[in-house]
Every structure is written in C-alpha cells, then in structure tokens.
C-alpha cells in the first residue's frame, strides 16, 4: 500500500469510525479515569498535545481535558486508531529511553519539538506512513478535544471555546439582539 | 392507509422540490403520500446539535449514509460521506444557509450566449427567466425572504419587494460594505430566507449562529420542514411516511408507473400504488432510484435509454477569502452572512474565463472547521501546529470572510452512477460520484479570490488569506443536474414541465432538472420551479388531462 493511499484510508476511517458509537463516548466522558491508555502514555500524550497546541490565551489542552477525550475516543469511536497509537507511543518511549528519561514528557522542549517534526515528516525509525498517520490523527484529535462540544467529553467546562472567544450555542441563552450583532455604540 | 389504497400522487423526498409539490397538490384535494428516507425532527431536537455531530461526523442528518467519489472513470472511488445533504424531513433546506437568489435571465440560456465551449455540455433551459419570475415571487413570499429589492444592479430584473426587511449588518459586514464602496462597487444585503421579524407564523431569528449546517430550533429559518410539509399535512390530504426509503419505481402498462416499492421504518419491503409519481430525492437520490429501477424496457435504469440519467452533474465552484480585522467581527452571531457584491457576475470572456458568480459575506466557520483552515492562514501545509496554531486560534473573534458561489460548467462525464463495488447498510449499491472540474471553473475561482481580497483590504482588513475550495465537489451542498430538462428527448431526461419524456406519470422536481447551474445558490430556483410545475400539474388535473 503506498503512503498516500494509507493516509487516505486513515482519514476515511477516522470519520466513519467516529460515527459508529456516539452514545458510547458520551457515557465514557463522564469518567476521567484512564480507559485504554496507561498513565505514562497519558503523560506522554499530554506533553505532545501541549506542543501541538500550546495555551491559547492562557488556556491549555490540560484545562480542556484533551487527553481524557482522546483516551475515551480510542475506547469507542476511534477504537480502530488504537493500534496506531500503541505502536506510535512505542516510538515516544524509545526516544525517552535513549535520552535516559523516564517519560518523553521529561525531555527538553527542543528535543520534543524536533521529535514531533520528525514524526510529521515520517523520519523516525519506523514506517513513514504510519508515523504521518499518527501525527495527523494526534493533531486532529487534539483540535477536537479542545474545540468540540463538551457533550462529547471534549472541551471540558467549555475551556477551549473560552480560549478562542466562541460563545457556544446561544439559542440556549435566549439569543442575541440585533443591536448586539451590529456591535455599534448605543445612540 | 388501507392495503389497497391507490394514492393520487406519491412524492419521493421532502426537500425543496418535494415539499412544494406535496403542499400544492394536497391543497387541491389530491390524496398525496410523501415517502422520506430520513427521520422527522421536531425543531427542539436542533438544540442538541453541535459541530462534531453535524459537520465533522455528519451523523446528525446523515446517520446511515454512504457514497463513493472519484475524479475520473479510471480512478478508484473511495467510500465516505461527501455530499452533506441532509436525509431528513425537509431535506437540505433544514440545514441550508438560506441565501435565496433569483438567477439572472442570461443564466437560462448559457449555450446561446456563450456558443460552443470545448469539453462542456452547455445547454439552454427550456424555460426563461420571465416564465419563472412570478414563481420566484411566490417562493419569496412563502419563505419570508429578507432583503432589499433593487439593491443589486446586476441581479435579475423586476425583483418584487421582499416580504421582510434585511438583517442587521455585523462589523464584518460593514468592513466588506466599506471596502466595496471604496472600490466603487455596489454592496447590498444578501436575500435570506430567515425571518428578520415575525412572519408566516414563525418567529424572528435569534441571531445565535450554529445556522448553516444546522437546523433552526425556532424555525426562523424557512425550510420545507417548517413551511411546506406542515402546510401539506394541515390540508388533511397528505400522509407523510418518514424513515421510508423508496427503492424501486414499478412499471405498469403503457408508458406508466404503477407504484413504488419502499422499505419501511423496520426495513420491511412495502409496495404502494399511485396514479402519479413525483421524484424529488435530490440530484443524487433521484439518480440512484432511477438507475436502481431496471426492467426489460429500461435495462440501464428507468428513463436512461439515452444514457443521460446521472450525467452533467454540477456543484458550483467556490472561492473563499478570510480576513482579520481590528475589532471583533461578530461572525458567531446572527445569520450566515449579510452583505453581497455582484458586480463581477456578468460573463466577460476577456477575463480569461466565461460566466461569473456572486460574492457574499461568509461568517467564519464554527471552531473546528476554522481550526482546520489554519494552513491557509499560515500559508503552508506542514508545521501547522505549535505557537503559530495557537496564535491563529486566538484571532478567531476577529476573523471574517467572503465566499464566491460561481457557475460551474456542465461536463457530460461528471456524473452519478451506481458503484458496483460498494453497498450500503440496506444492501443497495451506493451512489458513485465521478467529478472533475472544467478548467474554466478554476480560472473563475482564482479571479474571484483576488477580487475578494481587494474588497477586504480596501475595507481595512489587517490581513487576508484564501482557502482553495476548487477541490470540493458535491461537498458544496449545491448539487444540480443529472436529469436535465429540455425540449429534445435525445439529449434530456425531462420535458419543460419536468415530466419524464419516456414515462407519462413520472415527474422529477428537484435540483436534478437544471441544465446549467447559474452563479447563485440554487434553492430559490428549485422552489420557484416546483411552484411552476405544481401549477401546471394542477391545471392538467383540473382539465382531466393528467394521464
Ligand atoms: C450546509 C449547506 C448549506 C446550504 N446553503 C444554501 C443556501 O444558503 N442557499 C441555497 O440556495 N442552497 C443552499 N444549500 C443547498 C440546498 O440545501 C439544496 O439546494 C436543496 O436542499 C436541494 O433541494 P432538492 O429538492 O433538490 O433536494 P433535497 O433538499 O436534498 O431533498 C431530497 C430529499 O429526498 C430524500 N430522499 C433521498 N432518497 C430518497 C429515497 N430513496 N426515498 C425517500 N426519500 C429519499 C432525502 O432524504 C431528502 O430529504 C445548502 C446546502 C448545504 C449542505
Ligand atoms: S441564527 Fe437565526 S435562523 Fe439561524 S438557527 Fe439561529 S435563530 Fe434560526
């Protein structure tokens, strides 16, 4: 299978897998205890997500519960991505071990940055297509975890929406006046 | 519904075309049954929508839908959900953005105006703007379109007063308006089928965003769900069968259909008999059903003797430019877009392409889609992460946008057919989209990208950037063609009344009858044409000439 084909397949399966069991994710979102990832893997992922999406207006991926979202996603809607994460996280572990660190998150910021760049380019010692698929998935899921509606277990306490100044579903709040839309100073 | 009920009319699909047909025909006392494959939402369910469900996963309006897509017949078609068209009572009008335009007169006779164009299958419409004009007015009244008649010097002539005043401009609209004026252009309010005041028994818009791609929880946004289907049901002559999917049109004797085979809510096969069948399942659904309905007489699918069913698929070409402004744009508030510029619409081959399109304000997308556009802002496809990504997201409240809806040229090989490799959850072959843009579309989009950037810059935008949408096919949501109407049965599927050339009691009344796509969003034209066809249908019926 060539690389482009692999990436295409992954994108298609991302969408279709996520459509499969929306209720399951809603239920799992209630718990913050790790479901499929180990504690050290969560620590690694959180550090990676934080580099992919550093705090926006001071609000971080940790504030939005992004890694908890990804953990539950891999249990349910994104279960078919789990093998990709498992083998990919092995690369993170190997890099940490080579540098004598307990966890990838403990590496120097520049080292982690370089690692993610290599992952994006498919230049680590592993199948390039899989590395790139993991990178794309991680970036996509980080954005979902930060910005999707809280009812999906993402964006906890609407932290991501607050970060970017998105007001959310204003129909719930009785709507907005024409004057507010216009944003003109009162006469 | 007794077992042997014979309906006067079976309408398949309850979107723009189907909604009008159901309402108009049942209002005259005809016994109408509507088959709709999707579910019937009550508006309060739309409070439960969100971007992940509606836009990214598309499991709200398309919970169980599959199609495949490829560029050319030599490519492998890849499965997915590409077309974004809601499968629900009300069809695509439930989640439309409601921009409601009349086509310009020249858009009904493009073949005559432009002559022969290589690699395109241009054709004139068998009807004129003048013939459709009163029906446009009827549709505008039914939908409560808000706008400013006479505001667009480049629009269709004879625009009647809109039933509602325009919506208020947000700061981003004013930036665009100012930029256009500085360039001596003519900005005007986009006509939108969204109540700017209480109208037609429906409330005023709550200005709450989550609008295009979402259903309206207060029905301020007009749709067949909010307007036509309730009116049809209120006649007492219309029965709506939601979650019922038509799977075959059944031939009877003497160039006629005898009924429709469908799967009911439990997936059980049923047959209903009808004297007339109105197919309004959208350009893709309509083609799929015709091609599924094979017989000795129509081995390649119903009406497909001339191999025209499914061909000339069009989906408009879009161009998109975003801009950053100093003050909050208020993109997340109010209906989707408010101000338009149409000065570049008239066709002018000296620009390097023919035909044109309309420019409208595009509110910035909901957060995830906006984040996925970061690559365009940063001008690169790698390293779209880190501090640059966060910096982009922090600008969200200050982003506004412009979009161009452009006329795409029909191409005979752009088509819908049945995919021999993939089946859906009900075991039926899925629709296969084969679509490659005509070069003219790309040149048109590039030209408009520049014009839109000029407008935003003249209005004082800090920065502008384009996102390439020319690769989007039916994902535009504007899906037209596939069952052309025309005067020549050799080159078209339907006659000027949207009645099948080859089967007397079959009518196709949705976007699939369009011979060309016009440079405006299509749905007001689908609605107006449906009112026109309904009038003709009713006149024939009252004269006893509906055979
Ligand atoms: C996000 C978005 C925004 C849009 N915004 C605008 C806009 O601002 N302005 C504009 O003009 N247009 C807009 N459109 C386009 C508009 O939605 C369509 O042009 C319009 O809905 C098409 O009408 P139709 O009658 O052809 O089909 P549809 O509205 O698609 O209706 C077809 C119906 O048939 C049903 N059906 C299909 N197959 C079967 C079957 N076998 N049995 C029973 N039922 C079946 C479907 O479920 C559907 O309900 C937008 C589209 C999208 C996706
Ligand atoms: S913004 Fe207005 S029209 Fe759109 S969904 Fe909200 S209330 Fe309805």
In a domain, B547, yes or no: no
> Which residue in A has a C-alpha nearest to residue B371's C-alpha?
A143
What per-residue confidence (pLDDT) applies to B386? 98
> B358 lies in which domain range?
6-542
What per-residue confidence (pLDDT) applies to B160? 86
In a domain, B508, yes or no: yes
Residues 6+ apart with CB under 8 A from B330: A180, A181, A182, A183, B170, B171, B172
The H or E element containing residue B33 is: strand B32-35
What per-residue confidence (pLDDT) applies to B364? 84
> Ligand 1 centroid vs B59 CA: distance in angstroms?
16
In a domain, B1, yes or no: no
Closest among B330, B327, B290, B346 to B484, alpha carbons compared: B290
b/e map of B233-267 (b: 16 or more CB within 10 Å)? bebebbbbbbbbbbbbbbbeeeeebbbbebbeeee
Q: Is B150 left (phi over 0), alpha (psi -120 to 50) or beta?
A: left
Query: Which residues on adjacent β-strands are paired with residue B464?
Result: B323
> What is the Cα–Cα distance from A68 to A43, expressed in whole angstroms?
11
> Which residue in A has a C-alpha nearest to residue B207's C-alpha?
A176
What per-residue confidence (pLDDT) applies to A28? 52
In a domain, B397, yes or no: yes
Residues B158-179 have pLDDT tens digits of 888 999 999 999 999 999 999 9
Q: What is the secondary structure of B218-250 as a DSSP string? A: T--B--IIIIIHHHHHHTTSEEEETT-EEEEEE
Question: Would you say B335 and B191 are in contact if contact means Cβ atoms under 8 Å apart?
Answer: no
In a domain, B181, yes or no: yes
**Which site among A169, A173, A185 would you substitute to test the B interface, given the most B Cβ atoms closer than 10 Å to its Cβ?**
A169
> Within 13 Å of residue B480, how many CA atoms lie on the same side as its CB?
25
3-class DSSP state of B283: helix
* Cα Dmax for chain A: 67
Closest among B161, B182, B492 to B341, alpha carbons compared: B182
What per-residue confidence (pLDDT) applies to A19? 42
Which residues of A are less than 8 Å from B63 in CB distance? 19
Q: What is the secondary structure of chain A as a DSSP string? A: --HHHHHHHHHHHHHHHHHH-HHHHHHHTT--S-SSS-HHHHHHHHHHHHHHS--BTTB-HHHHTHHHHHHHHHHTTTGGGHHHHHHHHHHHHHHHHHTT-SSGGGS-HHHHHHHHHHHHHT-SSS-HHHHHHHHHHHHHHHHHHHHS-GGGT-SGGGHHHHHHT----GGGGT---HHHHHTPPP-
Instruction: Inspect the interface and report whether the beta carbons of B394 and A160 lie closer than 8 Å.
Output: no
CATH of the domain at B442: 3.50.50.60
Give the number of other CB atoms < 10 A from CB of residue B412.
14
Question: Would you say B490 and B503 are in contact if contact means Cβ atoms under 8 Å apart?
Answer: no
For the question of whether the overall pTM of this predicted structure is more than 0.80, the answer is yes
> Which residue in A has a C-alpha nearest to residue B61's C-alpha?
A19
Residues 6+ apart with CB under 8 A from B438: B119, B120, B408, B409, B411
Q: Does A99 touch chain B (CB under 8 A)?
A: no
What per-residue confidence (pLDDT) applies to B28? 98
Q: Which residues of chain B have pLDDT under 70?
A: 1-3
Predicted ipTM?
A: 0.92
Q: Is the dihedral of CA B216, B39, B213, B439 positive or negative?
A: negative
Q: Between A and B, how many residue pairs show a Cβ–Cβ distance under 8 A?
A: 142
Q: Does B442 touch chain A (CB under 8 A)?
A: no
Q: Is B245 left (phi over 0), alpha (psi -120 to 50) or beta?
A: beta
Q: Does B473 touch chain A (CB under 8 A)?
A: no
Closest among B280, B243, B232 to B506, alpha carbons compared: B280
Residue B334 DSSP symbol: S
- Burial tier of B370 (Cβ tally within 10 Å: 0-12, 13-18, 19+): buried
Q: A62 to each of A26, A156, B234, how far by Cα in Å?
A: 19, 9, 53
Question: Would you say B482 and B309 are in contact if contact means Cβ atoms under 8 Å apart?
Answer: yes
Pair of tokens at residue B196: 């700017």
> What is the Cα–Cα distance from B34 to B23, expressed in whole angstroms?
10
Q: Does B327 touch chain A (CB under 8 A)?
A: yes
Closest among B413, B181, B385 to A53, alpha carbons compared: B385
Pair of tokens at residue B507: 């009518």
What per-residue confidence (pLDDT) applies to B147? 98
Ligand 1 site: residues with CB under 6 angstroms? Answer: B 12-18, 35-38, 84-85, 87-88, 91-93, 95-99, 212-213, 245-246, 280-282, 285, 289, 477-478, 510-511, 521-524, 526
In a domain, B57, yes or no: yes
Question: Would you say B419 and B431 are in contact if contact means Cβ atoms under 8 Å apart?
Answer: yes
Mean residue pLDDT of chain B comes to: 96
In a domain, B383, yes or no: yes
What per-residue confidence (pLDDT) applies to A11? 36
Pocket lining: B202 vs ligand 2, CB cutoff 6 Å: no
Helices A82-98 and A39-52, interaxial angle, to 10°? 90
Q: B43 to each of A67, A144, B56, how far by Cα in Å?
A: 34, 26, 21
What per-residue confidence (pLDDT) applies to A30? 61
Q: B368 to each of B214, B364, B389, how far by Cα in Å?
A: 15, 11, 12
Please give the tally of structural domains in chain B. Answer: 1
Residues B470-485 have pLDDT tens digits of 999 999 999 999 999 9
Q: Which residues of chain A have pLDDT under 50?
A: 1-24
Q: Does B203 touch chain A (CB under 8 A)?
A: no
> What is the Cα–Cα distance from B369 to B399, expressed in whole angstroms?
13
Point out the ligand nearest to the CA of residue B99. Answer: 1
Closest among B138, B224, B160 to B531, alpha carbons compared: B138
């Amino acid at each position: 299978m060539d690389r482009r084909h692999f990436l295409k397949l992954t994108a298609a399966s991302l969408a279709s897998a996520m459509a499969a069991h929306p209720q399951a994710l809603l239920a799992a979102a209630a718990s913050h205890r790790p479901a499929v990832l180990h504690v050290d893997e969560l620590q690694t992922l959180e550090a990676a997500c934080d580099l992919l999406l550093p705090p926006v207006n001071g609000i971080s991926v940790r504030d939005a519960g992004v890694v908890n979202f990804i953990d539950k996603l891999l249990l349910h809607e994104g279960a078919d991505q789990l093998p990709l994460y498992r083998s990919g996280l092995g690369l993170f572990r190997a890099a940490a071990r080579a540098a004598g660190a307990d966890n990838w998150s403990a590496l120097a910021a520049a080292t982690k940055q370089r690692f993610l760049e290599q992952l994006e380019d498919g230049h680590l010692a592993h199948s390039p297509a899989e590395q790139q698929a993991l990178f794309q998935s991680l970036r996509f899921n980080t954005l979902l975890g930060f910005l999707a509606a809280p009812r999906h277990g993402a964006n906890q306490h609407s932290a991501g929406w607050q970060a970017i100044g998105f007001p959310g579903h204003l129909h719930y709040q009785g709507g907005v006046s024409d004057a507010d839309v216009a944003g003109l100073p009162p006469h | 519904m007794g077992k042997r009920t014979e309906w006067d009319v079976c309408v398949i699909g309850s979107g723009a075309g189907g909604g009008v047909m159901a309402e108009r025909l049942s209002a005259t006392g005809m016994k109408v049954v509507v088959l709709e494959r999707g579910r019937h939402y009550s508006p309060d369910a739309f409070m439960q929508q969100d971007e992940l469900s509606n836009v990214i996963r598309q499991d709200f309006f398309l919970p169980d839908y599959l199609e495949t897509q490829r560029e050319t017949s030599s490519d492998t078609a890849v499965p997915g959900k590409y077309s974004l068209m809601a499968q629900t009572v009300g069809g695509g009008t439930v989640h439309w953005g409601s921009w409601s335009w009349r086509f310009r007169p020249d858009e009904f006779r493009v073949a005559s105006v432009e002559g022969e164009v290589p690699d395109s299958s241009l054709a004139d419409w068998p009807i004129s703007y003048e013939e459709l004009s009163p029906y446009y007015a009827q549709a505008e009244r039914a939908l409560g379109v808000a706008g400013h008649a006479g505001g667009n010097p480049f629009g269709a002539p004879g625009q009647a007063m809109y039933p509602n005043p325009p919506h208020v401009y947000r700061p981003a609209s004013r930036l665009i308006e100012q930029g256009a004026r500085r360039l001596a252009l003519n900005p005007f309010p986009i006509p939108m089928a969204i109540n700017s005041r209480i109208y037609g028994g429906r409330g005023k818009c709550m200005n709450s965003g989550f609008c295009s791609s979402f259903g309206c929880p207060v029905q301020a946004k007009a749709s067949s769900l909010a307007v036509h289907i309730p009116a049809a049901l209120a006649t007492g002559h219309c029965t709506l069968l939601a979650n019922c999917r038509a799977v075959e049109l059944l031939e009877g004797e003497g160039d006629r259909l005898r009924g429709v085979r469908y799967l009911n809510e439990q997936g059980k096969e049923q047959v209903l008999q009808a004297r007339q069948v109105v197919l309004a399942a959208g350009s893709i659904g309509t083609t799929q059903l015709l091609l599924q309905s094979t017989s000795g007489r129509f081995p390649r699918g119903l009406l497909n003797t001339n191999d025209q069913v499914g061909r000339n698929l069009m989906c408009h070409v879009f161009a998109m430019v975003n801009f950053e402004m100093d003050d909050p744009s208020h993109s997340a508030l109010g209906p989707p877009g408010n101000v338009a510029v149409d000065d570049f619409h008239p066709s002018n081959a000296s620009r390097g392409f023919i035909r044109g399109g309309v420019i409208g304000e595009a509110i910035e997308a909901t957060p995830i889609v906006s984040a996925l556009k970061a690559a365009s802002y940063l001008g690169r496809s790698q390293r779209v992460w880190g501090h640059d990504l966060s910096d982009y997201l922090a600008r969200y409240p200050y982003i506004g946008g412009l979009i161009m809806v452009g006329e795409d040229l029909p191409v005979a090989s752009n088509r819908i057919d049945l995919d021999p490799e993939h089946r859906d959850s009900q075991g039926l072959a899925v629709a296969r989209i084969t679509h490659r843009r005509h070069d003219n579309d790309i040149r048109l989009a590039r030209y408009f990208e520049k014009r839109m950037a000029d407008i935003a810059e003249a209005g004082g935008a800090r920065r502008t950037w384009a996102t390439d949408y020319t690769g989007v096919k039916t994902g535009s949501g504007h899906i037209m063609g596939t069952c052309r109407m025309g005067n020549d049965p050799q080159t078209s599927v339907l006659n000027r009344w949207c009645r099948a050339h080859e089967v007397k009691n079959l009518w196709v009344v949705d976007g699939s009858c369009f011979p060309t796509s016009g440079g405006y969003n299509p749905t007001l034209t689908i609605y107006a044409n449906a009112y026109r066809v309904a009038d003709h249908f009713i006149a024939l019926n009252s004269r006893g000439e509906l055979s």
